Amino acid sequence: MKNIYNLTIKELEDYFIEIGEKPFRSIQIYEGLYKKRLSSFKDMTNISKDLKEKLSKTFSTYKIKLLLKQEGKNVNKYLFELSDGNKIESVLMFHNYGISLCVSSQVGCNMTCAFCESGRLKKVRNLEAYEMVEQLLIIEEDIKKRITHVVVMGIGEPFDNYDNVMKFVKIINCGKGIDIGSRHITISTCGLVPEIRKFAEEEGQVNLAISLHAPNDELRSRLMPVNRAYHLKELISTIKEYIKKTNRRVTFEYIMLDNVNDSEKEAIELSKLLKGINCYVNLIPYNETENIGFKRTKEWKILKFYDILKSNKISVTIRKEFGGSVDAACGQLRAKAE
């Protein structure tokens, strides 16, 4: 039985045409599911009893299970269990500009970035679109507020699950449903070049973030094995093509690791690497974990790195720190549960 939350409005429309129903039924169902948040077809008063029965026999409204919630200052962390017993997590952040949700896209991750908790547990499988949608629905139900921004930056490499992630984006972006604007949605990738090129062909204004974390091939290959497949020259060239085609600014994420990638030398290298690119750099204080030996860069050093980029005319921000009182590192809560 298919999960109803796995269907785009176009797929639902095609289904109704196939069974001899009017296409506008798709709008009624979408509004019932996402505007009114009805979790049973029986509660939808604008469709016939026969159609309710047909939908109930064809589609499931099963939701993933919330196992655990941790709360910190301006941040909540959620641990979910899927129907097959696998676990994933999401992070909710309260900003002055809105409420942002970081969703997972895979169970585990095969990218094995040296500093990342998620990569310690290998990829088990991709998440279906509905398993991403339901992270949002369950958390909105918990906080009784509307989530305004979504980042696909949790457990997993989103572009290693490209089709399901793009379906998820279509579902949450649909105006008849959850209706999160495409400019409020960001997809992060560690640098899968073929998928970045594919993403450049997509419609809409969804943001792209690149997990960079090093300004040269030697260091990046040591931290991020993906760099051995797609070297920085190819990655940066592809990003330039992407920006030229889409006219959209790209974010480069840069985790600050003490005495690893945070020296003046690396700041200057990074400035040269990104010179002339329509982008900004997001410097991220590292969330230390008991399983990985990296330490966070000291604040004064982050500020010095920031100043060097700024003086070289690179747009740069320092990410506001979240989750000091929760298991904030991606995959940390799941790793403990496992």
**Which residue numbers are catalytic?**
89, 330
Long-range residue pairs from 173-177, CB within 8 A, at least 24 positions apart, any chain = 173/204, 173/206, 174/8, 174/9, 174/30, 174/34, 176/9, 176/27, 176/30, 176/31, 176/34, 176/35, 177/9, 177/30, 177/31, 177/33, 177/34, 177/35
Contact 187, 207 (CB under 8 A): yes
| Tokens, residue 282 | 């997001």
For residue 20, give the DSSP letter.
T
Closest CA to 220 of 192, 261, 268, 188: 261
Contact 177, 36 (CB under 8 A): no
- As a whole number of angstroms, the distance between CA 179 and CA 79 comes to 25
Torsion, Cα 92 88 296 281, to 10 degrees, reads -60
Residue type, 199: F
Closest CA to 25 of 62, 50, 60: 50
